[in-house]
Amino acid sequence: MPEQSLTERYMREDRKNMRGSARAFLDEWLAAMETQLHSWRTQHLPEDFPFDFTLTSLDALEVEILTRFPTVEEFAAQEPDDFVDGAVRYYGETIIKNMPGRWSYQDIPDWEDSFNRVPMILSNTPQEFLDSVIPRLVIKLLVQEREAGTLRESALIIQDAVDEAGDYEI
């Protein structure tokens, strides 16, 4: 099955289990993606940034993030931040363009968890193989640990889930 069709199929299934507020957020988030990325690129990135959504561009993104946030405390103090929002979007779109995955969001009242009320990438896999990447948390981890390759390595979680699922269908 072509990947776009599979992504749409999984997203339809996701939407059945989402609260209305989560569907509304995700719809707005996705509708603004192109505009927000364009704005982020022109306002926050150097002209020579390789804005091509390749996995190698994540290395350049790491440099930009680490330059902007010397400490995790400075990262936390800037939230919410247009730069971080753009980095989350770019990182997530890079994963999706290179691996079978999709954006998701959940909004569960009275539930304090790192998976709640943040955009995330889910693997295009059946539930028993499902894995996720939360771009904002990976970026925070990068700032905290300052380890080159964090973005690229974390993105591979999605591909690993797909590989583990093999030909298993939804």
Return the domain boundaries, the chain: 3-165
Place of tokens 């405390």: 73
* 10-33 pLDDT tens trace: 999 999 988 898 999 999 999 999
Tens-place pLDDT, residues 89-98: 999 999 999 9
Distance CA(149)–CA(21), nearest Å, equals 35
Could you say which DSSP state residue 48 is in? Answer: T
Phi, psi angle pair for 121, to nearest 5°? -105, 130
pTM (two decimals): 0.92
